[in-house]
Amino acid sequence: MSMPDLNLLVTLDVLLKEGSVVGAARRLQLSASAMSRALARLRELTGDPLLVRAGRELVPTPRALELRERVRQVVDDAEAVLRPALKLDLATLARTFTIRSTEGFVETFGPALLARIGAEAPGVRLWFVPKLDKDSTALREGMVDLETGITSAAMGPEIRTQGLFQDRFVGVVHTGHPLSRGALTSERYAAGDHVLVARRGLEMAPIDRALDTLGLSRRGAVTVGGFGPAIALARASDLIATVPERHTQSLWHGMHRFALPFDVPGFTISLFWHPRLDGDPAHQWIRSLVTTECRGRQDAGSQPHEA
C-alpha cells in the first residue's frame, strides 16, 4: 500500500477553512488550477465530493464537516512536532490572549490578572470578549484562547477543563432594602419583586426548581441578559437579584447580600481551552496565572454580610 501524500492534509485543512478553491489557492500561493487538481485528488482518496456547489458558493458535505476538526488537529500536531522548542521568555513575550467570560469575571478577577501580567510579562495583552452562550465553537476554531464558565453538554468532548473555584447563588439588594432586616424566610424571598437573568443556554432554573419544591415561585418584574445588569437594577431599586457570589463579587460590592433561605446546589466555575494549545508554553503560563489568581481568592467573600 502506497503512502498517501500528507501535504494533502494541509490542502484539505485550508480548503475546508476557506470554503473556496480560489481562496485556498491564494492562501497556499498556488494557481487555481493546481488547487482544483488537489481537490480532485482529495475527492478520489476520501471517496467524497467534500465541497459541492450551492449557487455561487461551495459548501462542505457532511463528510467534510466530520473531517474538519480532525484534520485541523492533525495539522496543528504536525506543526508542533516540527516547530523548534523555544524557552519561554516572559520579559520579551508579545502576545494577546483572548478570554471569553462574563462581565462579573472580568471585574472580579481582571484587575489582579492585569497586575500580575504587568509585573511578569509587560508585552502581553488581554482581550476579554463577552460570553453570551455555552457554545464552544470559538474555542474549537481558535477565535478565543480561554473561556470560563460551567461545564455543560454543549461543549465538545475534546475541550480541556480545569476547575477554578466553587461558587453558589446568593441574593443581593440595596442597603436598606426590607430583606436586609429581620428573619429571612423562603416566603419573604419569593414574595419580593425579582430581576431575572436569562441568556442563551444560561438560565436561573436551579432557583426556580428549588422554590417549586416548596410550593413557591418568584415574580419576575424584569428580565435581563446578564448578572451585571441584574445587580445594577437591584442597586437602584427594590428589586432582588440572585447571582453567583464569587463570580460577581466586585459587582455587588457595597450592597447587602444574603444566603438563600433554601437549598440550592453549588457549582464549579472552570477554565476551558482547546487541546491544540496544551503544549504551548505561553498558553501554559496564562492558564497557570488565571488558575492561581482565581484560587488565591477562594475564601474571598465566602460569608454573606450586610455591606
Number of domains in the chain: 3
Residue identified by cell 426590607 is 178
Do residues 232 and 252 both lie within one domain?
yes
Do residues 155 and 279 both lie within one domain?
yes
Do residues 181 and 261 both lie within one domain?
yes
CA–CA separation, 47 vs 3, rounded Å? Answer: 17
Do residues 158 and 279 both lie within one domain?
yes
The pLDDT assigned to 304 comes to 40
Asked, for residue 180, whether it belongs to a domain, the answer is yes
The pLDDT assigned to 302 comes to 43
Q: What is the CATH number of the domain that holds 154?
A: 3.40.190.10
Do residues 202 and 250 both lie within one domain?
yes
- Please give the angle made by the CA atoms of 226, 228 and 232, to the nearest 5 degrees: 125
CA–CA separation, 28 vs 35, rounded Å? Answer: 9
Do residues 14 and 158 both lie within one domain?
no
The pLDDT assigned to 84 comes to 65
Asked, for residue 272, whether it belongs to a domain, the answer is yes
Considering only CA atoms, which of 172, 295, 306, 161 is closest in space to residue 230? Answer: 172
What is the domain extent for residue 148? Answer: 95-166+268-296
- Please give the angle made by the CA atoms of 86, 121 and 296, to the nearest 5 degrees: 110
Q: Per residue of the chain (307 residues), what is the pLDDT tens digit?
A: 566 777 888 898 888 888 888 888 888 888 989 989 999 998 988 899 988 988 888 888 999 888 888 888 888 888 777 766 668 899 999 999 999 998 788 888 999 999 999 999 999 999 999 887 777 888 888 889 999 988 877 677 789 999 999 999 999 999 999 999 999 999 999 999 999 988 654 455 789 999 999 999 999 999 998 889 999 999 999 999 999 999 898 899 899 999 999 999 999 999 999 998 988 999 999 999 999 998 875 544 444 443 3
Residue identified by cell 488558575 is 291
Q: Which of 42, 57, 82 is the last residue of a domain?
A: 82
Asked, for residue 191, whether it belongs to a domain, the answer is yes
